[in-house]
Amino acid sequence: MDERTEKNSDGAPHGEASASEEPARRDDAQAAAEQGEHPMAPGPSPRPGVLAAETFGIAAIVMSGAALIGTRLVEMLASVTAADQSAAVSGVILGDGITALCGVLLGIVGLARTDAASRPWARWLAGAAIVTGALALITAGAAYMLVPPPAPMPPMQ
In one-letter notation, the amino acid at residue 124 is: W
The pLDDT of residue 31 is above 70? no
DSSP single-letter state for residue 151: P
Share of the chain above pLDDT 70, in %: 65
Nearest Cα to Cα of residue 63 among 118, 36, 101: 101
Question: Measured on CA atoms in the order 122, 125, 131, 132, is the torsion positive or negative?
Answer: negative
DSSP string, 24-36: HHHHHHHHHHHTT
Confidence of residue 91 (pLDDT cuts 50, 70, 90): confident
pLDDT in tens, 136-151: 899 889 988 988 877 7
Is 64:136 a contact under the CB 8 Å cutoff? yes
pLDDT in tens, 105-119: 999 998 888 887 788
- Global pTM reads 0.60
pLDDT in tens, 42-53: 556 656 666 777
Identify which of 12-16, 18-22, 100-104 has the greatest average pLDDT.
Answer: 100-104
